Structure 1
């Protein structure tokens, strides 16, 4: 569980007065998440999730929350931001940007089955189609982000890890980034950010990595997250094909995306390896903090380098 910013009952009661959500009954920290502080909140009006946003600034939130609203307005199941009484989508609590969301039914996945994987491929493609209607705001240059963070981390790595990082940073420069279709993306669609009731998708959560980036990058993040088991170091290539086929039934990859597919899978693995290394070597202090083992993503990166079975997109 990650709780960087503790909240008292009195503070929460005072904050909720800005909403039309009734009176506070109970609240508790959520045993999930890495970068933000989250609480389940129960009021006389229903069930909600409160997020104190630690990972992005208040200036970035309008982009993220408007993106979520655009998706929900067009039928994509997502946790909906609750409007404040003044119409805003976020407030301030304990010097942090605060967002109150509807609490969805369903549970996060730990071992997604083929049907759930197929549904997520379709959903992701629909999201990217809807993103085409939005302006290309808040861009994140993934290659540059990796290069800058990688430079700061390099002295903390073993020699073999340094060589792996330098190789993949160089390989990422071969992608024709400017030729790839891009727009607002989730960028963190791991199975624990998709709530299911059986094989029914109840909704997507945790959009706080959202940015404008290549749709291919978002797809590759999702493929790695849903198809690679860190505990066994196995990649389920059949499941990856299901996701990819479902995705392309709605939004086929163009030629530039096909050519960059294998390299982008590795970029997606590298990006999360680097962020986990950052959390280890440049720790952010918090009351209760969850940190994930970076070696899982390093193993994935090496597997993708050695195995070309997912080049079927090209």
Structure 2
């Protein structure tokens, strides 16, 4: 989450009048994340998240995201569907952006997950995958493997201002991953960004899965590999307690056991995940507006993860 587009209190009050949610009490921009503009909104009746969708989220993709969230909510999963206004409209326009008012979920995202929390989160991902088996929506992965080389080329040798030789290093690593990418594994709707800050917890219990704006049709085990690359390391990219990654996989397989081929591909899929997030972080590092209320994330933390997967495969 982040804030690129500023919304005045007067404008927000007028916006909320479309809904049966009470009157505005307070609103605070949320700086974490890098994708959309987000506000924590309190009214006289409840608490909500207001999201304005920035350029990386195409307005044409929003019906897919909303349908996916509605599908998961109907299956009883703890996700935050958009709230319709009095006319039944969920996707709005605000300050020239597509916008949604979203249900607020209780819980906190953990910065240093325990093995038990990782086990619960892994099981929650598997429950999501199972619940989506009959979801009929389809969306190509806008940050899937076909997009990594074009993004690498757009970053170009500017990557070397982050670390000398980074462009050549990623060029070679990507070539290795592209040549071995397992295209025969089971696919379906995936979250594609289930970092610890996108999982809300109370103790060891998952209370929310949030930020589905990279959701797409892709390899299910790739979703798990993304999650491992996010949960099994600290913020600087150093390996965390080995029990965390192990518990994550155990939690997932307690709900949806992996095939032999899926299990064998996890390290390669994780290398791909590292390249994907290193490139998107690098692009944001090089291009984030100086006045944006946003916390930039260190691209090199994913280079360290990539090196770990290369060395342990």
Q: What TM-score do the two structures reach when normalised by structure 1? A: 0.92
- Unaligned runs of at least 5 residues, structure 1: 309-314
Alignment partner, residue 153 of structure 1: 155
Shift of 1:167: 2.1
- Partner of 2:154, secondary structure, is helix
Partner of 2:146: 144
Q: 1:79 aligned to 2:80? A: yes
Tell me whether 1:275 sits opposite 2:277 in the alignment: no
Ranges of 4+ aligned residues in structure 1 off by more than 6 Å: none
* More moved, 247-256 vs 191-200: 247-256
Q: Which runs of structure 2 are paired with 1:203-222 in the superposition (5 Å)? A: 203-222=208-227
Shift of 1:134: 1.3
Distance between the aligned counterparts of 2:275 and 2:181, measured in 1? 18
Give the equivalent residue in structure 1 for 2:38.
38
The change in CA–CA distance for 1:176 and 1:291 in structure 2 (over 3 A counts) is closer
CA distance in 2: counterparts of 1:173 and 1:105, whole angstroms = 40
Give 1:135 deviation, angstroms. Answer: 2.3
Q: How does 1:217-232 map to 2 (within 5 A)?
A: 217-231=222-236
Indicate the RMSD between aligned Cα atoms, in angstroms: 1.8
Q: What is the aligned counterpart of 2:177 among 172, 181, 201?
A: 172
| 1:105-124 alignment, distance < 5 Å | 105-124=106-125
The 3 A distance-change label for structure 1 pair 178 and 232 is closer
CA distance in structure 1 between the partners assigned to 2:139 and 2:289 by the alignment: 24
- Matched with 1:26 is 26
Deviates more, 1:11-20 or 1:233-242: 233-242
SS at match of 2:81: coil
CA positional deviation for 1:23:
1.4
Q: How far has the Cα of 1:174 moved from its partner?
A: 3.1
Q: Distance in 2 between matches of 1:128 and 1:13?
A: 38
- Aligned counterpart, 1:192: 197
Q: Do the aligned partners of residues 14 and 212 (structure 1) sit closer, same or farther apart at CA in structure 2, a change above 3 Å counting?
A: same
Show the counterpart of 1:312. none
CA distance in 2 between partners of 1:148 and 1:236 (Å) = 35
Give the CA deviation at 1:37. Answer: 0.8
Q: Is the 8 A contact 1:179 1:256 kept in 2?
A: no
2:98 is aligned to 97
Please report how far the alpha carbon of residue 160 of structure 1 lies from its aligned counterpart in structure 2 after TM superposition.
3.2
1:176, 1:234 → 2: CA distance? 24
SS of 2:136's equivalent in the other structure is coil
Higher mean C-alpha displacement, 214-223 vs 164-173: 164-173
- CA 1:188–1:286 in 2, change beyond 3 Å: closer, same or farther? farther
Change (3 A) 1:167 1:276: same
| Contact 1:78/1:205 (8 A) holds in 2 | yes
CA–CA distance in structure 2, aligned partners of residues 178 and 233 of structure 1: 29
TM-score normalised per structure 2: 0.93
Shift of 1:284: 4.4
**Structure 1 range deviating more: 94-103 or 150-159:** 150-159
From 246, 250, 266, the equivalent of 1:245 is 250
Matched, 1:291 2:296: yes
Higher mean C-alpha deviation, range 266-275 or range 159-168 = 159-168
Aligned length: 308
Q: 1:84 to 1:175 in 2, by over 3 A?
A: farther
Q: In 2, distance between residues paired with 1:177 and 1:61?
A: 29
Alignment deviations for residues 193-236 of structure 1 (CA, whole Å, 9 cap, x no partner): 11112222221111112111111111111111111113371243
Structure 2 counterpart of 1:311 = none
Q: State the 1:138 CA deviation.
A: 0.9
